[in-house]
Structure 1
Amino acid sequence: MQMQGGSPPEDARDPNAYSEGFERGTGEHVPPGVTRLELGDQHAFGNLRVNRLERVWTRRGSNFTAYDLQGRFGRDFDYLVVKAEGEVAKGKLHDSRTEFLWAHAVAGYWDSQLGVRLDKGTGRSRQWLAVGIQGLAPYWFDLSATAYLGNGGRTALRLDGEYDWRLTQKLILKPRTEWTFYGKDDRENGRGKGLSTATAGVRLRYEITRQIAPYVGVEWQKSFGRTSDFVRASGGRDSQTRWVAGLSFWF
């Protein structure tokens, strides 16, 4: 044991004294197959987080099921990310966005992401190149920003953020907002140039355990500009209130 500026005093505490000299992966009580403790970014691991699996009700009776999940596999600094979000109504997929991204840690709480995005649903399928950043801002705000480049010179930008406000150890209120922008009109998919849609909502969840939590909430969605024109032309409303109930879990 060496200390900065010289040798340690004779009565310095032995760093292994409390463990009686045992290390991870050694000793008579260690189960077989347990490896020695290694440095960060040497172990690969994966998880799946289903942020939203919910039933949505609107005032006009157009009810549907929505999902939003994110999976990852890899090490601490570099890993594969799969994001999937969409809506299913009457047994049909009406709108979905799936992203396959390679993430790299650029700071203690921030990752850069690069990959592809695939859009499916009732409109025309689209493919995009995606580049973005995702992380935890000061005061525990979860934020992400992703820019997209598609064929035909199409561009898009998606911003979203959320925050866990812990009312108790098990009861959490989560405000969430999402904003989407497009560089040009896409009449086939009902998207207009500029600010397309904005969504804001709150969900109140109860954590039965840290890994599973039912919730209820309310969400407001508003279309803008040419997107609003496309929505009204198809018989829809450019703003609506949604009531939601669902389940959030991870493993």
Structure 2
Amino acid sequence: MRIIKSFTLSAVTLALGSMTSTLWAMGEHTDAHMSSHQMRDMSDMQNLAKDVVTDSAQINHAEHAEHAVELPIASTEIYAHTADHRIEHGGQIYQSTEIDSRWLSNSDGEGFLKSELESRIGTDENKLFLKLHADKAESAKADYAAQAMYSRMISDFWDVQAGVRYRYDQKHSSDKSRYDAALGLHGLAPYFFETDAYLFVGQDNQVSFSLETERDILLTQKLITQPYLNMNVVFSDDSRYAQKTGLNDVWLGVETRYEISKKIMPFVDIAYHYEKGDKQTAWQTKTDSEADWWYGAGVRMKF
């Protein structure tokens, strides 16, 4: 009986030892298996992170390379856009010409023909102005004047101009041709008055100032009335055919035109004219001041 108990105890002990060894081996195997999986997962995560970093670097490099290639194109496009913008806002060269011719007569039946031409060419900032005037009283010889002016924009509404004026008067027996230096302003005065103001300085101490200003008042889209003022002030004149100093000549009138088109515009005109006269010199006699009302019609053409 004692032998049987001893044998049974030994068998139980061996069985427990075997189970313990088996469980320990299984635990070791499980830990090793889990460690292997963890190591593999960590390695996979590291490889994935490396791939992400590599892909990001490749993308950044590609983007930088793309930008490096497109930069000259972008610069060219910006330059082209700037050039187009410059052309649209002041860089374009344009030309326009206006011809004005009118016949006026006074209460005494005397007639007077006035013709003017103004042409300009250039950009908004730099222009060349050419102005021609021809005045001919009935039964008298004509006198002419021409101005060539360089015009430079100094603000949104004003140009400063400088140039030369040439005058030719057939009524004079000598000194028919005269030259004057000219400096002036051309632009839009407050309340939309188109204004030309010039200072002239010539030989024989001839210094004068001229002002031309006008304003359009729309009665309809095609019928327009235009009050205007043209005046000439003489500061000094020691020439053979000198004019009296002071306010020498004034035209104050109202012109009403009908615009058949923007190129052809007939009009009627009524004006008050004052002229101070000439000084007494060795080559001419003194003349008195004259003032009268003048009425007439004409046509203006633009192209």
TM-score bucket of the superposed structures, by smaller chain = 0.7 to 0.9
Distance 1:236 1:58 in 2: 18
Distance 2:92 2:242 in 1: 44
Higher relative contact order (CA 8 A, sep 6+): 1
| Aligned counterpart, 1:140 | 192
Distance 1:206 1:248 in 2: 10
| Aligned counterpart, 1:168 | 220
SS at match of 1:56: strand
| Aligned counterpart, 1:41 | 90
CA offset digits 1:151-175 (Å, max 9, x no partner): 1222110012101111111111111
Contact 1:186 1:192 in 2 (8 A): no
**Counterpart residue type for residue 273 of structure 2:** Q
- Give 1:1-251 correspondences, 5 Å limit: 38-50=87-99, 52-89=100-137, 93-121=141-169, 122-123=171-172, 124-185=176-237, 188-189=240-241, 191-224=243-276, 227=277, 238-251=290-303
Contact 2:205 2:237 in 1 (8 A): no
- Residue 56 and residue 189 in structure 1: after superposition, are their counterparts in 2 closer, same or farther (change >3 A)? farther
Question: Unaligned 5+ residue runs, structure 1?
Answer: 1-35
Distance 1:111 1:104 in 2: 5
Contact 1:70 1:83 in 2 (8 A): yes
**Counterpart residue type for residue 272 of structure 2:** W
- Residue 188 and residue 173 in structure 1: after superposition, are their counterparts in 2 closer, same or farther (change >3 A)? farther
Contact 1:53 1:66 in 2 (8 A): yes
SS at match of 1:183: strand
SS at match of 1:76: coil
CA offset digits 1:110-160 (Å, max 9, x no partner): 111000001112233221000000101222111121001101222110012
| Aligned counterpart, 2:63 | none
Question: How far off is 1:183 after superposition?
Answer: 2.1
Contact 1:228 1:238 in 2 (8 A): no
C-alpha RMSD of the superposition: 2.4
Question: How far off is 1:237 after superposition?
Answer: 6.1
Distance 1:41 1:170 in 2: 29
Which is richer in strand? 1
Distance 2:137 2:161 in 1: 31
CA offset digits 1:212-241 (Å, max 9, x no partner): 1100111111123xx2667xx677761121
Moved more, 184-193 or 168-177: 184-193
Contact 2:166 2:178 in 1 (8 A): yes
- Residue 236 and residue 192 in structure 1: after superposition, are their counterparts in 2 closer, same or farther (change >3 A)? closer
Distance 1:236 1:152 in 2: 23
SS at match of 1:209: coil
Q: TM-score, normalised by structure 1?
A: 0.76
